[in-house]
Structure 1
Amino acid sequence: MRIRKGLVLLLMLVLAFAFYSLLGRLNPDLTIFINTFIIAVLLAAITYGEIEGAVMGTVAGLLEDAFSHGVFGLSGLSLTITGFLAGWFAQKISLNSLGKRSVILFFFSLFQLVLWIVLYNFVFKKSLLYSRPGLYLQPVITAIITSLLAGLFRPVKKAID
């Protein structure tokens, strides 16, 4: 069972990286609107729990940092905290309805973005909110995509387990 879960998480990470690379190749601005790594982290967190969400957040964040030209660890820290909290919160309430799941995922995506921006401002002493207005749409797009994927992933998870 654990091997299957590990393989599913690895596949999610590989797909997130592949889609991130594809979006960057098509149009680099798309990576601002659609952050595939936070989608993978939130999907893992609400599906498997807080530990898997935190581990996926760490690995996905460090992978994202490896391909950015910023400080190594900013995305890793923000995605780890978000993955843990989303997984913990998802275990406490039922996220079976699309509306509730979308709202919760929006707030966790917004939390991750705000945490990342605060850490970025702390390190670089400059704001990204004026230079990258596409960041405002990232939580909305992330919540919609992740909520739809989570609805599709539940039957797959039941078939695997």
Structure 2
Amino acid sequence: MKAAILAALASVAAATGTITIKNNCQGAIGIQIDSQGTQGQSQVIQAGGNMETDLSGAPGQAVKFSTSGDFAHPISFDYTIDYQDGKVYYDVSDVAGHPLDVYVKPADDSCPEVSCPASWPTSVCNQPRTCYPSSNYVIELCESTHSTITKARMRRSVKMAAGML
């Protein structure tokens, strides 16, 4: 039994994906990656810039976004890797603030997107979703160049969260 669990842990750890963050906002966005309550080093992504990080952390992390730079009221992409069932559980948490639009798209089309517009109810964002640790994720902040598609996806996410689809 121990050997099976260790083998599962090793395969999940070896197959972790990446998180690409795209700043489509007009200004710079502060990023801070916290792991198990420990604050990470804050970084800045300039307008139009990108950043990539590994999907890692035992068992999960909070990737926080702030428009003010002080992270007093961030919105965050939270995830937990469950090594026993080989899945990632993720959501967008806006309980501390909702300063900008956040759109999360897993590369695996079988995994659900998260659309969290700044002006919409928080219940849209906080619904947990599941995917696989090997999947890559793209997080777009603010309106993208594909804003019509993004808005349609956001409306669909709201309907899904409300049980209308």
Asked if these proteins are the same fold (TM beyond 0.5), I'd say no
Structure 1 or 2: larger helix share?
1
Larger radius of gyration: 2
Structure 1 or 2: larger strand share?
2
